[in-house]
Amino acid sequence: MAHEMVHAQQLIEGRLVQCDLAHYRWKDQACEKVANIAYLDRPWEKEAMETGAALYNAYRSKFLALSPVQLPE
């Protein structure tokens, strides 16, 4: 869920723009067909994985008093 909230933030702030049903634009780059970019190569996914994991671990630490977890490679 933290991962998806990062995507919401990207869209709200305009760093990620859906050009049409199949194309997305990241920051100042051109619109690209998302199917042509491997999932792990999409910059918005990289950010969502990193920031989402950090948010999740901050939540675990602050509210559940649990230690951080590592993202799968």
Interface residues with Zn ion (CB under 5 A) are 45, 48
Q: Which is nearer to Zn ion, 24 or 48 (CB)?
A: 48
Query: Closest CB to Zn ion among 46 and 61?
Result: 46
Nearer to Zn ion, 65 or 69 (CB): 69
Report d(CA 4, CA 12) in Å as an integer.
12
- What distance in Å separates the CA atoms of residue 8 and residue 48, rounded to the nearest whole number? 10
Q: Token pair of 29, please?
A: 């780059």
